């Protein structure tokens, strides 16, 4: 291996930023994530940021749906 590929491997293994995780979660939820982004996500050193963000997004989505349904039913 050359020194350049070792550097590239280390750069792929750095922890993702909050914005990158949020973009990946939203893109995955809408089903529009590119293969390049998916490969970057899976090359991350730890899946925990994505798991936590996914659970929080799902909980927020469900709570949002419940609130919308309650508001619609209250106006009837």
Q: Is the pLDDT of residue 7 over 90?
A: no
The C-alpha atoms of residue 11 and residue 49 are separated, in whole angstroms, by 17
Dump pLDDT digits (tens) for 29-55: 888 888 888 888 888 778 888 899 999
Q: Is the pLDDT of residue 6 over 70?
A: no
Inter-residue contact 12 to 43 (CB < 8 Å)? yes
Tell me what pLDDT residue 30 has.
Answer: 86
Residue 43 CB coordination number (10 Å): 13
Tell me what pLDDT residue 29 has.
Answer: 87
**Quick one: what percent of the chain has pLDDT higher than 90?**
30
């Amino acid at each position: 291996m050359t020194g350049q590929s070792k550097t590239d491997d280390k750069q792929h293994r750095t922890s993702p930023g909050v914005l990158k995780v949020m973009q990946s979660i939203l893109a995955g939820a809408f089903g529009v994530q590119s293969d390049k982004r998916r490969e970057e996500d899976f090359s991350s050193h730890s899946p925990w940021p994505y798991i936590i963000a996914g659970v929080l997004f799902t909980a927020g989505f469900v709570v949002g749906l419940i609130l919308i349904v309650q508001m619609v039913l209250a106006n009837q």
